[in-house]
Structure 1
């Protein structure tokens, strides 16, 4: 099943077509160009009316979503910065208040301690004065008793040694001289 054209024979394939490559066949160029233009036109219309508007819409949606997310992130950052500033301000105020309370408490405790100390010192001073006065009175009383006891003892000793009682004025003068030295 071979055909002959101008004296040359071209072998036929299984479908009975000639052996040349169809796009390179010059007899079909016009119909190929027509179908190319139709296919390109349909593809162009399909792309420009359906696919590209959808893609443009998706890109626009993504762009607006990204810009709104960036704006939300910036707002959240600004809010967190404000919250941090407010926290730091309240922390500074709290520390200052705590220091003031500590200072006031320290001053109150110091004043109370000073008042208590002064009161105790005054009480101790009064007790010391009273004790000194009592010691002085007891000493004077003891000294008066020592004189009387010394006079009695001297009189008894002299009476024991001499056998007779000495004169009270002489004994009193001798004891007064001895106590004064």
Structure 2
């Protein structure tokens, strides 16, 4: 089916002129803004009683819904939150107490370790001093024994030397007297002369 341009234009103009009329008829509003049935229903005084009744019923149902459903749930949520916060505080206090106890135990163990270390060091010093005293006493004893032996040996050598000196003096005296007088002198005479000379010197 073919539509001519003039026919399409006429159909468009008819639709444009008839569309506002149809719109006014469907909405019930005329050109002056008045309704076909009267005033706006919420502002109609004849429906105030039913509106108030339904408002009371709706408010009561809403109030019951809030009281029975919403408020208990919110209260349960708040109670759970309060219990959780209290539990968290208790756990924090418990952890703090455990941390304080651990710190106190650590400090006590540290003090005991320091005391034990000092005792060990003091014992080591005492043991070293005792060993040094024992070694010194032993060395002094050895030195004293060696000194006594040396003094005894010196006295022995001195006595031996003094004995030999008397013998040498007697022999020398006898030889000198023999050369002076031309006659041999007995050993006893030379010994007496040496002893007499030694006594005279003293």
| Cα distance in structure 2, aligned partners of 1:98 and 1:165 | 93
Alignment deviations for residues 24-81 of structure 1 (CA, whole Å, 9 cap, x no partner): 5544433432332233223222222222111111111111111122222222222233
Provide the residue aligned with 1:95 in structure 2: 114
Aligned to 2:142: 123
Number of residue-to-residue matches in the alignment: 169
Q: Do the aligned residues in 1 keep the contact of 2:174 with 2:184 (CA within 8 Å)?
A: yes
Return the alpha-carbon distance in structure 1 between the equivalents of residues 70 and 89 of structure 2. Answer: 28
- Segment drifting more, 50-59 vs 69-78: 69-78
Corresponding residue number in structure 2 for 1:144: 163
1:58 aligned residue: 77
- 1:67 and 2:108 aligned: no
Checking the alignment, whether the CA contact within 8 Å between 1:11 and 1:19 is kept in structure 2 is: no
Aligned counterparts of 2:36 and 2:184: Cα–Cα separation in 1: 186
SS of 1:11's equivalent in the other structure is coil
Unaligned runs of 5+ in 2: 1-20, 22-30
Output the aligned Cα RMSD: 3.9
Shift of 1:88: 3.0
Match of 1:11 among 32, 37, 43: 32
Match of 2:48 in 1: 29
CA distance in 2, matches of 1:117, 1:96: 31
- Rg: which structure is higher? 2
Instruction: Tell me, yes or no, if the aligned pair for 1:151 and 1:171 is still in contact at 8 Å.
Output: yes
Matched, 1:83 2:102: yes
Structure 1 stretches (4+) deviating beyond 6 angstroms? Answer: 17-22, 153-156
Q: Distance in 1 between matches of 2:154 and 2:41?
A: 148
> What TM-score comes out, normalization by structure 1 length?
0.66
